[in-house]
Amino acid sequence: MSRMYFRRTAVALACSAMIAPACTSNDGDAPPATNDPDSVAERRATKLVAQLTSDEKIALVHGTGMPIAGYGTFPPEALLGASYIPGIPRLGIPQVTSADSACGVNLKDTHATALPAPLALAASWDPDLAQEYGKRIAIELRTLGYTEGLGGATNLAREPRSGRTFENMGEDPVLSGTMLAARTIGTQGQKVIATVKHYAMNDHETSRMTSDSQVDERTMRETELLAFEIAIKEGQPGSVMCAYNKVNGTYACENPYILTDVLKKEWGFRGVVQSDWGATHSTAPAALAGLDEEQPGFSNDASTHPIFKMLGSHFNTKLRAAVDDGSVPMSRLDDMVHRKLRTLARVGIMDAPPLPSGAIDQDAGNASALAVARQSAVLLKNASAALPLAATNATNATGVSSIVVIGGHADAGVLSGGGSGAVPAADGNAVSGCQEPPGPVFIPHCATWYKSAPLAAIQAKAPGAKVTYFDGNDSVAAANAAAQADVAIVFATQWETEGNDLASLALPDTRTDPYNQSYDQNALIEAIAAKGKRVVVVLQTGSPVLMPWIDRVHAVLEVWYPGVRGGQAVADLLFGDANPSGKLPLSFPKQDADLPQPVISPSDPNVVYREGLLIGYRWYDAKQLEPLFPFGHGLSYTTFSYSNLDARREAKGDVTVTFTVTNDGTRAGAEVAQVYAKLPAGLGEPPNRLVGWKKVSLEPGQAQTIQLTVPAQRLATWDTSTHVWKVNGGDYTFVAGTSSRDPRALTKAMALP
């Protein structure tokens, strides 16, 4: 969203588009009343809508400005978040307040927990952990008095150089949608509205307010819309946020195909469609297409504030005029309001609105952050068992006695992503010296670092070893020190932020990121690799990175943006107190030229999905390109084997896949056992698609039989003639293994009618 940056500057479809808030039978008799929560919320919302005046209805469907920036006139009870919509006290309707919350509450001076990035969460492949992640954020939102969390991005990493890759859940629709559904359930279980965003086909930041994603129906349905479909049907979010970009020539927030035909009518979404901040471009077209709430909105359309004049106002007096003249039927306004009231009742906010209630529980938050960081790191390479490190101490005389830690501000802290997906550092930025350019700051240039220094955590793990630190600016001195040490640990970083895309997946240097980078990271790693006895690279990134030095280092550990306890997590992983179990949620290419889109055009607003269905690993498989590391890849300090794969078709068309996973090593560990399907030839499908997985924890020597039910839709293709999912008859092959390209994977062929 652009909220952070705005703050800083700061009748054809009418009836057919509706999902009626209530219905009666043809003979006039009301259907039997039921007491299930959905029915109760529906009846309650219907009763309230009937009691509202027209002005009150209008007031409920748009924001009143941006409190955090002071843009608007707000009562004392308004909170300094992203938006504020006043309640209707006479009817017991509470105010609605929201805050950015991609990986924690993005508000200064609240001491909110900075969790690892959503991409890191996706790398855990653990829906239970995702539910806890959503729960932790919701607890803190509610403690601070907020009604709605604006997290929950699930745009696929079609373009991994996007500045918001770290806010999303990777490149696969099934993984992304499943993980976001679990996060949503965790959030709404705490009586906080969860938002799923940015709907849809919103794949990079360049020209994001004007770009036009040009994509065919089948590609939409089988890739990004599938991720949203899973997240929305399984997670039942209260809010879906439409994106800035156009989709096939029509802005997402006034696009009847995606908002009404698909989201509301086909998927049965009964919550609120909310605009991204400044993404509303019209009144009647947006309302009739399915937009239910305008943000940031404001209470005075005649405001002369430059931000308000730039954004315009479409759902305040203009919507009232459109209802009065009939261009927007009152029934549509009633539906907009009904959706909001139903959501407030169903999530539990109507009866228990959140109120500021004291301080954040930092100990609980830190524990959650550490747990996610330890389970989401991906061990990409580990030649000659370079990791885990063994410390020299009173009981172990054979461990490493000298360690040199190099670069990446490892003496100070760990990196965070920027923009609205950030969380302010509770105790100040660990790294100083970066200066923003003069003048208004629309897009921040300086990264945030949390005070969780890997260096100190490493020293604590190896009290008997000599641990020294070099900042990376003198590669010769650092390389000479590495030549003398038992192990050299090089920290490499790649900062990204909303509002900017990466020019390349290469590690940034002083040319590509002069604000945060004072040396050439690739050159430093090359110099260390040339002399070091054992060289370990720790990556803190929000996207894949290129590694021209990969053959000359011994181990690579990807920790993403690891959150407020990242330094401790890194040390735990390096020394084996935590066994890496993360798997890549997106492919790492060998070079930028291997990406489907060679460059992101700074001038052409047309974003053409020429690769069709071949997003992510499907591209590399279909084009027979060797990735640097494939989707689903991730090593462990133990080893796992697979056996006894079988598959059978169930009566409803689902397929049950069973196989056994065994821990063949000497350490306890967790394995993400993945199942892919190869569809019948001639359908025009990519070679492989993920259809299921199970993360299992096993002791040394322990075996577990895994049974996965693959829903029929996971095997279906989108039929553009009938506009439905279709399971095609023919020969299918199921593949069970450790990644999308496991050479030892098991296969099982079967025919489906």
* Residue entry with tokens 């947006």: 286
What is the Cα 367 distance to its own chain's centre?
Answer: 21
Give the domain ranges of the chain.
3-10+36-347, 373-585, 639-752
Query: Per the structure block, which two tokens stand in for 24?
Result: 């009666």
Give the integer Cα–Cα distance in Å for 481 and 405.
10
Pick from 428, 541, 406: which is nearest to 480 by CA? 406
Contact indicator for 124, 584 with CB cutoff of 8 Å = no
Q: Count of CB atoms within 10 A of residue 90's CB?
A: 9
Report the amino acid identity of residue 495. Answer: W
Query: Per the structure block, which two tokens stand in for 526?
Result: 């090359």
φ, ψ of residue 690 to 5 degrees: the values are -65, 130
Give the integer Cα–Cα distance in Å for 235 and 240.
11
**DSSP line for 523-583:** HHHHHHHHH-SSEEEEEEESS----TTGGG-SEEEE--S--TTHHHHHHHHHTTSS-----
**DSSP line for 677-740:** EEPPTTS---S-EEEEEEEEEE-TT-EEEEEEEE-GGGG-EEETTTTEEEPPPEEEEEEEESST
pLDDT tens figures, 556-574:
999 999 999 999 999 999 9
Quick one: pLDDT at residue 215? 98
Helices 127-144 and 362-376: angle between axes, nearest 10 degrees = 150
φ, ψ of residue 316 to 5 degrees: the values are -105, -110
Query: Per the structure block, which two tokens stand in for 258?
Result: 């995606």
* Exposed e or buried b per residue across 590-628, where buried means at least 16 C-beta atoms within 10 angstroms of its C-beta: bebebbbbeebeeeeeebebebbbbbbbbbbbbeeeebb
Helices 566-574 and 454-461: angle between axes, nearest 10 degrees = 40
Strand, helix or coil for residue 470: strand
Helix (H) or strand (E) holding 372: helix 362-376
Which residues are paired to 537 by β-bridges?
490, 556
* Residue entry with tokens 């308004």: 78
pLDDT mean by block of 10 residues, the chain; 753 residues: 40 35 41 83 98 97 87 83 96 97 96 98 98 98 98 97 98 98 98 98 94 98 98 98 98 98 98 96 97 88 60 88 97 98 98 94 98 98 96 65 98 97 95 87 88 98 96 98 98 96 97 96 98 98 98 98 98 98 98 94 94 98 98 98 97 96 98 98 97 98 98 97 97 98 97 94
Peptide bond before 200: cis, by omega within 30 degrees of 0? yes
φ, ψ of residue 272 to 5 degrees: the values are -105, 130
Give the integer Cα–Cα distance in Å for 564 and 416.
9
Strands ordered across the beta sheet of 272-275 = 83-85, 96-99, 148-149, 193-199, 239-242, 272-275
Give the integer Cα–Cα distance in Å for 183 and 178.
9
Give the integer Cα–Cα distance in Å for 208 and 558.
29
Give the integer Cα–Cα distance in Å for 55 and 190.
31
Catalytic residues: 276
Strand, helix or coil for residue 158: coil
Give the integer Cα–Cα distance in Å for 114 and 185.
20
DSSP 49: H
Alpha helix (H) residue ranges in 290-329: 306-311, 317-324
Query: Per the structure block, which two tokens stand in for 156?
Result: 């696929």
CA distances from 241 to 127, 250, 275, 330 (A): 22, 16, 5, 23
Quote the CATH superfamily of domain 3-10+36-347.
Answer: Glycoside hydrolase, family 3, N-terminal domain (3.20.20.300)
Which residues are paired to 487 by β-bridges?
403
pLDDT tens figures, 630-666:
999 999 999 999 999 999 999 899 999 999 999 999 9
Give the integer Cα–Cα distance in Å for 148 and 129.
21
Query: Per the structure block, which two tokens stand in for 311?
Result: 């954004």
Residues 6+ apart with CB under 8 A from 650: 656, 709
CA distances from 441 to 57, 132, 436, 680 (A): 36, 35, 8, 53
Beta strands, E only, 508-623:
535-541, 555-558, 606-608
CATH top-level class for 639-752?
mainly beta
Please measure the distance between the N-terminal and C-terminal CA atoms of the chain and give it in whole angstroms: 45
CATH of 373-585, one of 3.90.420.10, 3.40.50.1700, 3.90.640.10, 3.40.1390.30: 3.40.50.1700
Give the integer Cα–Cα distance in Å for 745 and 750.
16
Q: What share of the chain is helix, strand, coil (3-state, %, to 5)?
A: 30, 20, 50
Give the integer Cα–Cα distance in Å for 476 and 24.
80
